[in-house]
Amino acid sequence: MLQDILITGLINSGVYALLAIGFSLIFGVARIVNIAHTAFYMLAAYCFYALLVTAKLDVLVAGILAIVAITALSLLCYKIIIEPVREHQAAVLIATIALATIFQELMQVGFGGHYLGIPSTIGGAFTIGGMSIPWQRVLIIVVAAAMLAATWWLLYRTRLGLAIRATANDREAATLMGMNADRVAMASVAISVALAAVAGVVVAPVFVVDPRMWLAPLVTMLAIVVLGGLGSLKGSLIGALTIGYVEAITVFAVPAGAYLKGAIALSIMIVVLLVRPEGLYGVAFEEER
C-alpha cells in the first residue's frame, strides 16, 4: 500500500503544483487573485482536444500550439479585462469569476455538455511493487518536475526573473529602479497561465474533458496556496505535496470515504491557518519581500 500512496500522491501533487505555483506567482507579483486560473487549464485541455482529435495534428505540435494559444488569450484577457480594474481587488475577483464562467459557457456551446476523452499520448504501463502505473502518468510527473525546475531557473537565474522577484518585493522601488511593472505583471500572467495550460495539456489524456473541469481543481488550488502562504512559491510546492499526499492517504486508509479527500485536505488547511494564519511559508515570503 505504501508504494501506492507514494506514486498516487506524487501524481496528484505534480498537477496541483503546476496550478498552484502559477496562481501564487501572479498574486505575488501583480496582486491579482485570478479565479479564472483553472479555467485557462480547462481551455488548454479543450484546445488540445480540438487540435489533436479534431484537427488530427501531431501530439507535440497540438500540445505546444494549445499552450501558446491559451497563453496569448490570457494576455488579451489581462489587457482588456483585468488591467483596467487591477487596482481594485474585489473588481478583479469578480471579473475573473465572470471570465471563468464565460469560458465554461463558451465551451459548452462549442463542444456541448459531453465528456470528452483524449487518447493517451504514451501508451502502456509498467509494474512496480505490484502496482501498475501507466506511462501517461509518469509523463505527468516528469513534465510537472521539468516545468517547476524551468520556473525556478527563470525566476532565479534570468534578468526577467530578477525583475519579477523585485516587483513582487516592492513594486514602487522596482519602478524607481527602471523596471516596467506593467510589463513584468504581463510576463507573470503569461508564465502563470502557461503553467496552467501545461497542466491542462498533460492531464487531458488522463482526465475527462468537460466544461466544468475547472471547478474542482480551483478549490484544491486555493486550499494549497492558502496553506502554503499566499504568494509563496515554495509554500505552494509544499502545499501541493501536502494536499496531494493527504488525498492519496485518505483514499487508501478510508476506502469508503474516498469522497472525503477534499474535505480532509481543506480541514488540514484550516488547522494550519489556526496555528499559522499566514500559512506555512507566509513569513518566509514576507522576508523575501
Partner 1 sequence: MLRTLLSVMAVLSALATTAHAQSSIKIAILGPMAFVQGENHWAGAEMARDEINRAGGINMGGRRLTVELVKVDTNELQSVPDATNAIERAITRDRADFLMGGFRSEAVLAMQEVAMDNKKIFLGAGASLTKLGANVEANYDRYKYWFRISPTKDTDLIRTVFTILGSVAAQIRTDLKKEVPKVAILAEKAAWTEGLVPAVQKTLPAMKLEIAGLWQPSDRATDVTAELSAIERSGADIVFTLLSGPVGIVVGRQMGERNMKAVAFGINVEAQKDEFWSATAGKGQFVSTLDTFAEVELTPKMTPFVRAFKERFKKSPAYNAATYDGIYILKEAIEKTGTMNADQLVPFLEKMDFVGAAFYTTFDKRHDLVWAPGKTAGIAVQWQDGKKVPFWPPQIKGMQPFRMPR
Binding flag, residue 210, partner 1 (CB under 8 A): yes
Residue 157 sits in the site that holds partner 1 (CB under 8 A): no
Contact characters 125-154, partner 1, x per CB under 8 A: x----xxx-x-xx-----------------
Binding mask 48-87 toward partner 1 (x if CB under 8 A, else -) reads ----------------------------------------
288 contacts partner 1 (rule: CB under 8 A)? no
- With respect to partner 1, which residue has the nearer C-beta, 8 or 188? 8
Q: Which is nearer to partner 1, 130 or 178 (CB)?
A: 130
Q: How far apart are CA 120 and CA 146, in angstroms?
A: 20
If binding is defined by CB under 8 A, does position 119 make contact with partner 1?
Answer: yes
CB neighbour class for 178 (10 Å; exposed up to 12, middle 13-18, buried from 19): exposed
| CB-nearer residue toward partner 1: 149 or 258 | 258
Which residue, 44 or 163, is less far from partner 1 as judged by CB? 44
CA dihedral angle for residue 260, residue 230, residue 26, residue 61, rounded to 10 degrees: -30
Q: Does 8 bind partner 1 (CB under 8 A)?
A: yes
Is residue 52 within 8 Å of residue 250, measured between CB atoms?
no
96, 33 contact by CB (below 8 A): yes
Residues whose CB is less than 8 angstroms from the CB of residue 259 and which lie 6 or more positions away in sequence, other chains included: none
Helices (H), 81-232: 89-111, 135-157, 159-169, 171-176, 181-203, 215-228
CA angle, corner 114, sides to 54 and 12, nearest 5? 90
Binding to partner 1 (CB under 8 A) within 97-116 occurs at 108-109, 112-116
- State the residues that interact with partner 1 by CB under 8 A: 1, 4-5, 7-8, 11-12, 108-109, 112-120, 125, 130-132, 134, 136-137, 203, 205-208, 210, 212-213, 216, 248, 251-252, 255-259, 262
